[in-house]
Amino acid sequence: MTVEDGYFVCEAGALLDGGKGVRFPVIAFGQPATGFVVRYDGKPFAYLNRCAHVPIELDWKQGDFFESSGLYLMCATHGAVYEPDTGKCAGGPCRGGKLRPIPVVERDGGIWWQPDDMVRAPRDNTAIQ
């Protein structure tokens, strides 16, 4: 496997539209962090798990990112609401902000994320979850 192939996150079938997301470990801007992937409108979307309001993780319980309608991602801390397909703030204290996207593909029955200039894999890719 080469870096261009990306890093395996989960089986494609594990990701349901508007359902639970899957977290994965990353090094973002030189610091250990997590990314997450969700499925929306049939496609996977991945972001750095960091709210645009205060830089902390979004999840309600680990892996819960959608609010109850399944149409928006919502931060558990102060209720910032994001569009799942663009990461743009759609309401709440993230006003004008945006989640940091992480490239993700669905391939061979799996979901794979790809590193970029600022988000890369931990050395052994299992260090932080």
Q: Residue numbers of the site for ligand FES (CB under 6 A)?
A: 51, 53-54, 56, 75, 77-80, 92-93
Structure tokens at 66: 């959608």
Exposure letters 99-114 (e unless 16+ CB within 10 A, then b): bbebebebeeeebbbb
Q: Determine how many CB atoms are found less than 10 A away from the CB of residue 45.
A: 22
CB of 100 to ligand FES, least distance (A): 13
Minimum CB distance to ligand FES smaller for 16 or for 56: 56
77 or 114: CB nearest ligand FES: 77
Looking at beta carbons only, is 7 or 53 nearer to ligand FES?
Answer: 53
